[in-house]
Amino acid sequence: MNRNVFSAALAAAGLALMSAPAFAQEQAVSLDEKVNQIFASSTGWFVNLIFSNFPGTTFPWIVAWLVIGATVFTLYFGFIQFRAVGHSIALVKGDYSDPNDAGEVSHFQALATALSGTVGLGNIAGVAVAVSIGGPGATFWMILAGLMGMASKFTECTLGVKYRNEYPDGRVSGGPMYYLTKGFAERGLPGGRILAVMFSIFCILGALGGGNMFQANQAHQQISGIVGAYPGWITGVIFAGVVFAVIVGGLKSIAKVTEKVVPFMGILYVGTALIIIAMNADQIGWAFGQIFEGAFTGLGVAGGMVGALIQGFKRAAFSNEAGVGSAAIAHSAVRTKEPITEGFVSLLEPFIDTVVVCTMTALVIIITGQLVAGPDGTYLLNEAGTAVQTIGGTSGVGLTSAAFGSAISWFPYVLAIAVVLFAFSTMISWSYYGLKAWTYLFGEGETKELVFKVIFCIFVVIGAAANLGPVIDFSDAAIFAMAVVNIIGLYFLMPIVKRELSSYMSRLKSGEIKKFT
């Protein structure tokens, strides 16, 4: 059975790699279109299911699901995201780390790795999508969702560490599939295993969607925006080749370089955004005015206030992945005796990702006046009436690029490099998340793991060739489907986290847990 899957996957890979160039020489564009068609028609039903509205409204149930989840965790843990920030920072700095554990995975490293999986195109392209569809007001809801999401992240990452696996050979890994199984068993609840299997299936789809195709797609759009249009499969094949070299060939050097350059790129991105905002300092008040006003009136945007809210929440969730469960996989390898400490550390992640980085993108787009407003101050819609008109008719990463470019003409080139690196590091992270879900379902083994890695590389090519529409929809759908299962699990397991929290807090207060040095 497995061998069949494997040979089929290899054959498909070979076909995609070999036939594409020959085929494309004659009909490059039509190949792209063909991929699009197949893609849109085969994933449409799944997208529709996830994004269906409450009957009689235009409000997707999935957005409500995430918001309710984040609110419940925020209230249940007594606004932990605001109470614990100081302690979180002390933990990241290593104040509470045992010096004898030097050489093990530190809190900082777990956070940095999780961040390099989340800070990516969601922050650059996703925010642009939110602002162009939902108007400036989407930013307000995005920030709010980011703040609330900190509590979701806190819950899932604590559980990720608590129920991780420590293998006899010294490897440490965990994630929702393990806390769903073990946590439910510990509480004597049925159904943990079913949830874990469902989560794993959605995680594999999410890894192929948002963690892969969306990234490849946006990277291609950014590159072709600079060097001129060319078929997407070319970018796809190159990306797939590099990803293949890293995850299959074990070429650590490429991954190492990316991991070192990505944080630098993130700082450069935020720094540049701050400079552009400072250049337009007189507009800051106006921009925040637009954000607040738009949040509650919509300012004439498609869908009005609800449209702004939906876009803000959607993009925040897609960017910081709070409640999705993916970060729990990255955080679970940390060296600590107290699982709750990683929860504290992980709640910084949505803050950095959404409240800081995403807001920068949104502010730059708004401040540089990319959105076209009519004489009465409300925004004009594009011809289709689906989004706000932008100056160059751009959307997604193109809009962000135009916004930065309007202030600093050469920045789109830097942004292109940043986008490619962000896309790449996110792909590497998600290939790992997907792989962990895959091995949960099918067991560990070199051949089984290779099958997944090959499939992952094929999807890079598909992602780069597909239109943004079907790709972004499928990415969203797969990632949100993970959140459905994960948050159900979190509701049942949150008393365990609460127990850990109160025990830890009382020991912290009594001085039993104290700083080293």
Partner 1 sequence: MSGKFVVGYDGSVSARRALEFAVDRARAQGGTIVLTHVLEWSPYSFLTPQELEERHARRKEEMTRAEKAIMTTVKAELDEAGIPNEVAIRYGNTAEILGRVAKEHNAVQIVIGRDGQSALGARVFGSVAGALVQTAPVPCTIVP
Q: Which residues bind partner 1 (CB under 8 A)?
A: 94, 97, 99, 102-110, 112-113, 116-117, 166, 169-173, 252, 255-256, 259-260, 262-263, 329-330, 333-335, 428-429, 432-433
Count the residues in the chain: 517
What's the min distance (Å) between Cβ of 321 and partner 1? 14
Cβ 65 vs Cβ 484: under 8 Å:
yes
3 versus 337: smaller Cβ distance to partner 1 = 337
Please, what sign has the CA dihedral across residues 108, 85, 367, 383?
Answer: positive
What's the min distance (Å) between Cβ of 414 and partner 1? 20
153 versus 314: smaller Cβ distance to partner 1 = 153
147: DSSP letter: H
Which tokens sit at 454? 């090959």
91 versus 316: smaller Cβ distance to partner 1 = 91
What's the min distance (Å) between Cβ of 90 and partner 1? 14
What's the min distance (Å) between Cβ of 461 and partner 1? 23
172 versus 391: smaller Cβ distance to partner 1 = 172
Which tokens sit at 462? 């598909």
92 versus 127: smaller Cβ distance to partner 1 = 92
Main-chain phi, psi angles of 240, to 5 degrees: -60, -40
What's the min distance (Å) between Cβ of 9 and partner 1? 21
Closest alpha carbon to 471 in 462, 480, 482, 458: 462
What's the min distance (Å) between Cβ of 341 and partner 1? 14
Closest alpha carbon to 269 in 411, 385, 143: 411
112 versus 238: smaller Cβ distance to partner 1 = 112
Closest alpha carbon to 163 in 132, 186, 195: 186
Angle between helices 214-227 and 468-510 (to 10 degrees): 120
What's the min distance (Å) between Cβ of 220 and partner 1? 23
What's the min distance (Å) between Cβ of 104 and partner 1? 6
φ/ψ region of 173 (left if φ > 0, alpha if ψ in -120 to 50, else beta) reads: beta
Closest alpha carbon to 323 in 60, 66, 47: 66
Which tokens sit at 208? 């192929």
142 versus 262: smaller Cβ distance to partner 1 = 262
Please, which residues have CB within 8 angstroms of residue 33's CB and are 6 or more apart in sequence? none
What's the min distance (Å) between Cβ of 435 and partner 1? 9
Local structure of 382: helix, strand or coil: coil
Please, what sign has the CA dihedral across residues 356, 362, 366, 370?
Answer: positive
In whole angstroms, what is the distance from residue 434 CA to residue 300 CA? 40
173 versus 354: smaller Cβ distance to partner 1 = 173
In whole angstroms, what is the distance from residue 332 CA to residue 342 CA? 8
Q: 93-97 — which CB contacts under 8 Å span 24+ positions?
A: 95/515, 95/516, 95/517, 96/341, 96/513, 96/514, 96/515, 96/516, 97/335, 97/516
What's the min distance (Å) between Cβ of 218 and partner 1? 21
What's the min distance (Å) between Cβ of 351 and partner 1? 19
218 versus 426: smaller Cβ distance to partner 1 = 426
Q: In Å, what is the CA distance from 378 to each residue of 63, 125, 184, 298, 392?
A: 26, 23, 51, 9, 18
107 versus 220: smaller Cβ distance to partner 1 = 107
Helices then strands (H, E): number in the chain? 23, 2
15 versus 102: smaller Cβ distance to partner 1 = 102
333 versus 478: smaller Cβ distance to partner 1 = 333
In whole angstroms, what is the distance from residue 202 CA to residue 439 CA? 14
What's the min distance (Å) between Cβ of 370 and partner 1? 33
